Amino acid sequence: MSEEAASKSGVEAEVKQFVTEIQRLREEVAKMIVGQTEIVEGVITCLLANGHALLEGVPGLGKTMLVRTLAEAVTLNFSRVQFTPDLMPADILGTNMIQEDESGQKKYEFQQGPIFCNILLADEINRATPKTQSALLEAMQEKSVTVANETFHLEPPFFVMATQNPLEMEGTYPLPEAQLDRFMFKLMVNFPSREDMHNILDRTTRSEQPQVEPVIDGPKIVKLRELVRQVPVAQQVQDYAIRVLEATHLDTAESLPVTKKYLRFGASPRGAQSMLLGAKIKALLDGRFSASCEDIRAVAPACLRHRLILNFEGEAEGVGTDDIIGEILNLVPEHKE
Amino acid sequence: MNDLQQLQSLLRRTKLRIRLQLMLERATTAAVVALALVIVALFFYKSRSIGLDGMKLMASLSGLMILAGAVWGLLTPVKPRYVLKRLDLANQTRDALGSAFDFVQRLPKDAEPDQKPFMEAQIRQASTLLGKIDHRTASRFRMPRDVPAVGVLMAAFLFFFAMMLPAPSSHASIPPPEKPAPKMQIDEDLYNEAIDDMHAVEDLAKHLKDKAMLEFLKEYKKLLSQLKKGQLTREEFERKYQALKKKYFSGLKQQMANAEKIKAQIHEVGKQLAKNKLTKKLGEALKKHDMDAARKELARLQKMLEKGKLNKWERKKLAKALKKAAKLLKNKDTKQLEQAIKKQLEKLKKKHNAKKNQVAKQRQKMKELKKQIDKLQKQIKKTSNPKKKRQLMRRLAQKKRSMRQMKRQFRKNKRQLDQLTRRQKQLQKQKRTLQTLSRAMKEAAKKLNRKKLDAKTKAALQKLMKQLQKYQRQAQRGSNRKGAQMTLKQLKELLKRLRNRKGRQKGRLSDYLKRARRGNKGAGKGCSSCKGTGKKKGGKGPCPSCGGSGRSGGLKPGGIGSGRRTGGLSRNRPGGKGGKGGKKWGKGHNPGTIKGRATDLGGKTVDKRVKGKHGAGPSEAQVFKGSADKGFSSRSYRKVFVQYKKIWQKVLNQEEIPPGYRYLIQRYFRLIKPR
Condensed to tens digits (0 to 9), the pLDDT of residues A65-110 reads 888 888 888 888 888 999 888 988 888 888 888 878 788 888 878 8
Angle between helices B252-274 and B280-287 (to 10 degrees): 160
Q: Which helix (H) or strand (E) holds B271?
A: helix B252-274
Residue B390 CA, distance from chain mean position: 51
CB count within 10 Å of CB A70 equals: 25
Report CB contact under 8 Å: A11, B98.
no
Q: Which residues of A touch B81 (CB under 8 A)?
A: 236, 335
Give the distance from CA B278 to its chain's centroid. Answer: 51
Most confident of A18-27, A198-207, B572-581: A18-27
Instruction: Let me know: does A274 contact A185? Beta carbons within 8 Å.
Output: yes
Is the CB of A337 inside 8 Å of chain B's CB atoms?
A: yes
Q: Is A7 on the interface with B (CB under 8 A)?
A: yes
pLDDT at residue A258 is higher than 90 = yes
- Give the pLDDT confidence score for residue A330 in this predicted structure: 95
Q: Cβ distance B186 to B226 under 8 Å?
A: no
How many other CB atoms sit within 10 Å of the CB of residue B305?
A: 18
Which pLDDT value is given to residue B562? 43
C-alpha separations of B341 from A314, B169, B256, B366, B558 in Å? 84, 65, 12, 36, 78
Quote the pLDDT of residue B444. Answer: 85
Residue B524, pLDDT score: 54
Half-sphere exposure of B81 (CA within 13 A, CB side): 15
B234 within 8 A of B182, measured Cβ to Cβ = yes
The pLDDT of residue B167:
52
Whether B644 and B673 have beta carbons less than 8 Å apart is answered as: no
| DSSP conformation letters of B215-256 | HHHHHHHHHHHHHHTT-EEHHHHHHHHHHHHHHHHTTHHHHH
Please list the residues that pair with B465 across neighbouring strands.
Answer: none
How far is the C-alpha of B17 from the C-alpha of B87, rounded, in Å? Answer: 12
Chain B residues with CB-CB distance to A223 below 8 A = none
Of B81, B112, B118, the CB nearest to A290: B118
Residues in chain B, total: 675
Q: What's the rounded Cα separation, in Å, for the pair A301 and A291?
A: 17
Average pLDDT over residues A238-255: 94
Task: Yes or no: say if A183 and A306 are a contact pair by the CB < 8 Å rule.
Answer: yes
Helices A218-230, A37-48: inter-axial angle, 10-degree rounding: 80
> Looking at beta carbons, which residues of chain B come within 8 Å of A290?
95-96, 99, 103, 118-119, 122
DSSP 8-state symbol, B542: B
Of A54-58, A266-270, B516-520, give the lowest mean pLDDT range: B516-520
Regions of chain B where pLDDT drops below 50: 506, 509-510, 512-513, 516, 519-523, 553-576
Dihedral over Cα of A128, A133, A139, A145: its sign: negative
The CA distance from A25 to A44, in Å, is: 9
Are B283 and B270 a contacting pair, CB within 8 Å? yes
- pLDDT computed for residue B458 by the predictor: 77
Q: Closest to A235 (Cβ–Cβ): which among B82, B94, B102?
A: B102
- CA–CA gap between residue A17 and residue A24 (Å, rounded): 10
The string over B248-285, giving b where at least 16 C-beta atoms fall within 10 Å of a residue's C-beta and e elsewhere, is: bbebbebbeebbebbeebbebbbebbbebebbebbbbb
Q: CA of A285: how far to CAs of A215, A259, B128, B479, in Å?
A: 17, 32, 19, 109
pLDDT of A325 above 90: yes
| φ, ψ of residue A41 in degrees (nearest 5) | -65, -40
Which strands, in side-by-side order, build the sheet including A119-123?
A78-82, A119-123, A159-164, A53-56, A185-188
Residue type, B174: I
Interval A252-270 mean pLDDT: 93
Read off the pLDDT of residues B48-80 as tens digits, 9 standing for 90 and up.
788 888 888 999 999 999 999 999 998 988 898
Rounded Cα distance, A130 and A137, in Å: 10
Task: Tell me the pLDDT of chain A averaged across its residues.
Answer: 88
Predicted structure pTM score: 0.51
- Write the residue in A11, A235, A292 that is nearest to B94 by C-beta: A292
Measured distance CA(B342)–CA(B358) in Å, rounded: 24
**Interatomic CA distance for residues B547 and A158, integer angstroms:** 140
Of B79, B95, B115, the CB nearest to A293: B95
| DSSP-derived secondary structure for B544-579 | TTTTTS-B-S-SSTT-B---PPTTTTSTTSPPPP-P
Cα→Cα distances B672→A105, A241, B405, Å: 146, 99, 51
ipTM entry:
0.84
CB B552 within 8 A of CB B559: yes
How close B106 comes to chain A (CA, Å)? 9
The radius of gyration of chain A from alpha carbons, rounded to an integer in Å, stands at 22
Q: Tell me the shortest Cα–Cα distance from B50 to chain A, in angstroms.
A: 46
